[in-house]
Amino acid sequence: MKVYFKTFGCRTNIYDTEFMKSFVKNHEIVNDENDAQIVVINSCTVTNGADSDVRNYINRVKRQNKRIFLTGCGAISKGKELHENHGVFGVFGMDEKDKIDEFLSRETKFIIANTPKKVDQNIITHFENHTKAFLKIQEGCNFHCSYCIIPSVRGKSRSIDESVILEEAKELVQNGFNELVLTGTNLGSYGDGKSRNLGKLLQKLGAISNLKRIRLGSLEPTQIDESFREILREKWLEKHLHIAIQHTNQNMLSIMRRRNKTRDDLRLFCELSELGFALGTDFIVAHPGESDEIWADAVENFKKFPLTHLHAFIYSKRDGTHSASLKSEINGIEAKKRLKTLQNIVFLNNLNFRKQVKSPLEVLVERKSGEFYSGFDQFYNKILIKSDQNLEKKWVEIRNYDVTNEANLAEF
């Protein structure tokens, strides 16, 4: 049977899909959904909207008479409903990923969906259709932010053995992936407070021969410790960090049941900015409780942060969370205005940052679209390059370029 994998959601899901593919032995994996008799959906359930996206996709595929299997976060939160009401043939949780070959051969419907407790120990050596490789170092989260369902569907934080991570990283580099993106549910919790931690792991990863760049997924500000600070000047560390603060008003952070403090966050961001880092964050706009007074204070604080990148979004109710029980009084028009205010601030910050960069841009070229090659520099800013050479999947150093609103432009 021919099998197509559809991945929703985060980088961790991208990794998990490749993990599953490595266990498929008795079926043929295809890259075109139309060629497949079986579709495996690695789902996201972070918001009600994410659930709707998965449900709509299932309904569309079902009309094509394909056999559907569901895994990922949605298997825990919505697996029973989708199995019973939407014709999903099989549902399995993330602890069962390594059994996928057996599942694909089953002739009777099934559902095995328990909150994950295991950690992956298998090694991924290749990422199809990717220029960079993802390296999962941990799974799960011990935080209990009021708006988030993820700890319920990903389980408690647990770390992959350091020896497995290092071996996997070496294999990936030997296979030509010399930029690694570290990923996990709560990346900074790696080590769980034991003798191992993220900073020490990064030091060992950075020593791998021919590894040119390490990029990190989202970090929590409270998890930036002294061992992490020790690697901030290493050349292999991308000069961009994404540190999720979620809001810049302390009362709002308390409502969200966040661990970070606005004052400490600002101090940390200024410290990292002084070291030349481009800095990104997550920000939830219009969460229940975000009064006009709270919003006004948040904006004034937000302007002080040296942010160059932003993943901001309007609060979306997630059933099963504490925030879903809170009353929201912010209408959609006002929420969009607030979102746009933050986006405009960071847009100008990023433009000014790119104009002030003095060092050459180190770019891993990812693809060509039209007349331009594209990739991201060490500050995670996009650059478009015009060249007569074939630059795909190559590293280039760019010294002369033009800064535009959308991206940097260069000829090579």
The CATH architecture one would assign to domain 361-411 is Beta Barrel (2.40)
What one-letter code names the amino acid at 77? S
Place of tokens 């050479």: 389
Total residue length of the chain: 412
**How far does Cα 183 stand from its chain's mean position?**
7
Comparing C-alpha atoms, which of 378, 293, 288, 361 is closest to residue 326? 288
| Token duo for residue 327 | 């009353």
Q: What is the pLDDT of residues 380-397, one digit of tens each?
A: 999 999 999 999 999 999
Task: Indicate the domain borders of the chain.
Answer: 2-112, 133-356, 361-411
Domain at 2-112, CATH homologous superfamily? Methylthiotransferase, N-terminal domain (3.40.50.12160)
Place of tokens 């409270």: 222
- For residues 77 and 357, what is the distance between their CA atoms, to the nearest angstrom? 45
Give me the pLDDT at residue 77, please.
Answer: 87
**DSSP sequence for 367-397:** EEETTEEEEE-TTS-EEEEE-SS--TT-EEE
Strands (E), 222-352: 240-242, 278-285, 309-314
DSSP helix/strand/coil, 290:
coil
Give me the pLDDT at residue 403, please.
Answer: 97
Contacts of 56 (CB under 8 A, 6+ apart): none
The stretches in the chain having pLDDT less than 70 are 192-194
What are φ and ψ of residue 402, in 5° steps?
-105, 140
Query: Does domain 133-356 bear CATH number 3.80.30.20?
Result: yes
Contacts of 402 (CB under 8 A, 6+ apart): 408, 409, 410
Give CA torsion, residues 17, 19, 25, 31, to 10 deg: 30
Distances in Å between the Cα of 280 and the Cα atoms of 61, 150, 266, 306, 356 are 36, 21, 13, 9, 17
Give me the pLDDT at residue 325, please.
Answer: 93
- For residues 411 and 400, what is the distance between their CA atoms, to the nearest angstrom? 8
Give me the pLDDT at residue 30, please.
Answer: 95
Comparing C-alpha atoms, which of 342, 343, 388, 382 is closest to residue 365? 382
Give me the pLDDT at residue 131, please.
Answer: 87
Comparing C-alpha atoms, which of 364, 11, 47 is closest to residue 182? 11
In the chain, what is the straight-line distance between the N-terminal and C-terminal CA atoms, in Å? Answer: 45
Give me the pLDDT at residue 116, please.
Answer: 81
Comparing C-alpha atoms, which of 351, 359, 405, 356 is closest to residue 378? 359
Give me the pLDDT at residue 2, please.
Answer: 94
